[in-house]
Amino acid sequence: MKINKLFLGLAIIIAMISCSDGDSEIEENVQPSNEFEEILAKYNLFNTNVKYESVQIGSDTNTIYFNGRIKDKLIIKGFSRTNKTSIFSNDEFTLDTIVNINEGYGESSIYNITDFSIRKIHEFENDYAFLLWGWGYTAPGEKLGISCDLYFISDQANKRIKSFTQPKTDYFFSKIIPWFENSFLVLSNSDFNHQHKWNCYTMDGLEQFEVNKFADSGYYTSINIQESIRFENKFIRRNLKNDEIIWESENPLADLPEDTRIDDAKFNQTEDGYINCKINYTKKDGVKGERTYKVEIASGDFTLQ
């Protein structure tokens, strides 16, 4: 009887251990609790050893990127949105979570960066550039953008250029737009007098030029790394680096009523030495129209196609 009782006791203990193990497995099966975690789960990034912090769609809208970290190591992952396959991964940068910023006048301040978010990604072939914001709190509930660094990850360079929002007289990176081939323009702002500037970089991390007078709104196309052609009721060729107007054309829509509204204008280059510009417009009476002009890059002369 004693032996039977002993076996019975062991069986009960084993059963209790089995139930306990089963409960542990259920507890470890963590499920996404918000929209960001659900997106992570779609790309098998949820509940890993990486603390992911933000997500951003690429300049190619078929791509998506995540930033995270293991301690102070930056982790970047990129995927195709169509089939969820990995297209990019990098873990070669160390983040600065404590920064000492020179405020001027012999004073400096220490800022603690608590989280990071990836913004404004530019892709060209297998090369990447992006902005990474660093955020902290100046007071409970008061979140402040402290740093915004420009990263280059390519075959030519793995490089980071730092910028800070403090002091307010300094410039900090805020925007990336594609430019000519492997180059792009980066907008920098200063909270002092609301000043701004644009810098042109290539994917090897080299700065090509700086320009103050550039508007990324409107209708324009780059024709080489220094120059663009813009449509503003006429075609204008400009050298950004030298801040020089090369030529201005006549108004191709001069025969239309002055109150005609321009709805869109798109450029494309199908032939060396020329660009095409397709212009969509609407007259005041609601009649819509479309014209395509072939513009000679050297002279600004144009013909209706």
> What is the distance between the alpha carbons of residues 142 and 177, in angstroms, rounded to a whole number?
30
CA-CA-CA-CA torsion for 114, 120, 122, 127, nearest 10 degrees?
Answer: 0
Residue 157: the pLDDT is: 85
Domain range 35-211, CATH class:
mainly beta
Domain positions in the chain: 35-211, 219-304
Residue 28: the pLDDT is: 64
Taking residues 140-167, report their average pLDDT. 91
The CATH architecture of the domain made up of 219-304 is: Beta Barrel (2.40)
Phi, psi of 286 (to 5 degrees): 95, -5
Residue 290: the pLDDT is: 97
Residue 235: the pLDDT is: 98
CA distances from 28 to 31, 39, 43, 159, 266 (A): 9, 19, 19, 39, 53
Q: In terms of C-beta density within 10 A (0-12 exposed, 13-18 middle, 19 or more buried), how is residue 123 classed?
A: buried
CA-CA-CA-CA torsion for 86, 36, 166, 93, nearest 10 degrees?
Answer: -30
Supply the Cα-derived Rg of the chain in whole angstroms. 28
How confident is the model over 208-234, as pLDDT tens digits?
Answer: 999 998 999 999 999 999 999 999 999
Q: Minimal CA–CA distance to 189: which of 209, 178, 203, 175?
A: 175
Q: Which one is predicted more confidently, 193 or 10?
A: 193
Residue 10: the pLDDT is: 44
How many Å is the maximal CA-CA distance in the chain?
112
How wide is the angle at C-alpha 156 spanned by C-alphas 155 and 159, nearest 5°?
105
Same fold for the pair 35-211 and 219-304: no
Q: Which one is predicted more confidently, 26 or 88?
A: 88
Which tokens go with 31? 């499920």
Taking residues 86-96, report their average pLDDT. 96
Q: Band of the pLDDT at 26, cuts 50, 70, 90?
A: very low
CA distances from 165 to 146, 170, 230 (A): 5, 7, 32
What global pTM score does this model have?
A: 0.84
> What is the distance between the alpha carbons of residues 283 and 264, in angstroms, rounded to a whole number?
13
Q: Which one is predicted more confidently, 20 or 29?
A: 29
Contacts of 161 (CB under 8 A, 6+ apart): 149, 150, 173, 205
Is the pLDDT at 4 greater than 60? The verdict is: no
Percent of residues, the chain, with pLDDT higher than 90 = 77
Which tokens go with 165? 């929002």
